[in-house]
Each structure stands twice: as structure tokens, then as C-alpha cells.
Amino acid sequence: MPSPPLVVFDLDGTLVDTAPDLVGALNAILERNGIPPVPPQAARKLIGAGARALLERGLERDGRAVDADTLNRMVQDFIAYYADNIAVRSKPFDGLIAALDILAERGCRFAVCTNKLEWLSKRLLDELDLSKRFAAICGADTFGVSKPDPTILRQTVARAGGDMSSTIMVGDAGPDVGVARRAGVPVIGVDYGYTEVPIRDLSPDIVISHLNELPSAVQLAQARRGAG
């Protein structure tokens, strides 16, 4: 069996159910600008590519277009509002803590690779008392690139002191599968996250429906890599 891997997680929709607070921030900013709110269930599918993309998608749903200066202002307003309300209703997905404990006992280490801003990611994980579990927490601004650019995953692994040959990615959406494929690492998809395209349609190596399945999935991904 190969040595225990570095397990790299996406954040929103994979580790933490952040949709309630992200949608709350989105709709607060839309309403400030006279734009109708996006229904929560529809808005969940818009999450995953960062604040600007979330706002753009929210505007598109109402057929709106704004100039670059207005969008920049809305993005800054969104970030400020969200930062102040980052963990009001957000919480770790069921089974996360137990799964991390089991994997840690097996020698696994963990990192976060997200398209969220690094400081917001750290603030959220601090609020949820999770930061200490991760050797690195890297966002879209950390290295100046976002998923699925493989640079962000490679640099996250390097910062965590890991090795690409023993890295496994875990995520809920296209950017996660894409970054793993481009970086040449196995990817476990979770089917409870935020994505317009069902994760199974994106063909990750393994799909799980609950984090209590994660330890077994990591073990299977290790075994397959070792056999290859």
C-alpha cells in the first residue's frame, strides 16, 4: 500500500455547507441594487467560481447587465457583507469531523484548495474551528490563478509539504475534477455539493454521497494508484 496521501479539499459545497451565507450575501447585494433576489435552491447552483462569478450569474438570472465599475463595486460590497456574516448559518457537512479523524489516524494530511479568497477561507475555517486541521489553505488570490488551472493545486500541495504523486483531490464540481485531471491526480467527487452539472457526469474517479464514505474512498484511490 502506498504511503498515506495528502488529501486536498475544495471548500464550498465539499467541506462546508456555505450556501446559506453565500446566498444571503448575494441577495443582500442584489436587493441593494434594486434587483430581485435569487431563490435559495437556484442560487446554490451558482456557487463555486468566486464572488464575481456568483454576482454575474445572479445578474444573468434576471437578465441584467452592469458596467465594469458597477460590478466591481458590487463585488467589494459582497465581500464586505459576506466577511461580516461568514459563519452565521454555514456548517461542516455531516460526517466531516469523523472522516478527518479516521484519515488522520491513518497518517493522512489535509489541505484546502478553493476558488474562494484565501483570507475569507481562513476566516470561515477559523470560525468553525477547522483551520488547525489543514497544512495549507489556499484560495484564488494565493497564487493568482483559480481552479481548474493546475498551478493552484500544485502550489497548494507544495505549500502543504506534500507530493503530487501521493495527492488526492476531493471536490463537488467541474473545477475540482478539471484541476485534478490537469495535475494528474485522482479525484473523489461528492454528489451533495453546488454544481449545475451533476458530479457523476463529470466522471471523477470515485463518487461519494456522504463524508462517512470518504475514508474508504481515499483507501480505494490509494490502492488504484498503487496498482497502476
Instruction: Provide the annotated active-site residues.
Output: 10
**d(C-alpha 124, C-alpha 127), whole Å:** 5
| Residue in the block written with cell 441584467 | 64
Provide the total of helices (H) and of strands (E) in the chain, helices listed first. 9, 8
For residues 179, 184, 185, 186, the Cα torsion angle rounded to the nearest 10 degrees is 90
* Encoded amino acid at 170, one letter: V
CA–CA separation, 152 and 74 (whole Å) = 26
Q: Which three cell numbers stand for residue 18?
A: 456555505
Peptide bond into 186 cis (omega under 30): no
Which CB contacts under 8 angstroms, 24+ apart, belong to 63-72? 64/35, 66/33, 70/33
Number of residues that this document lists for the chain:
228
Mapping DSSP to helix (H, G, I), strand (E, B) and coil, where does residue 153 land?
Answer: helix
For residues 194 and 47, give the distance between their C-alpha atoms in angstroms, rounded to a whole number. Answer: 6
Q: In the beta sheet, which residues pair with residue 7?
A: 110, 168
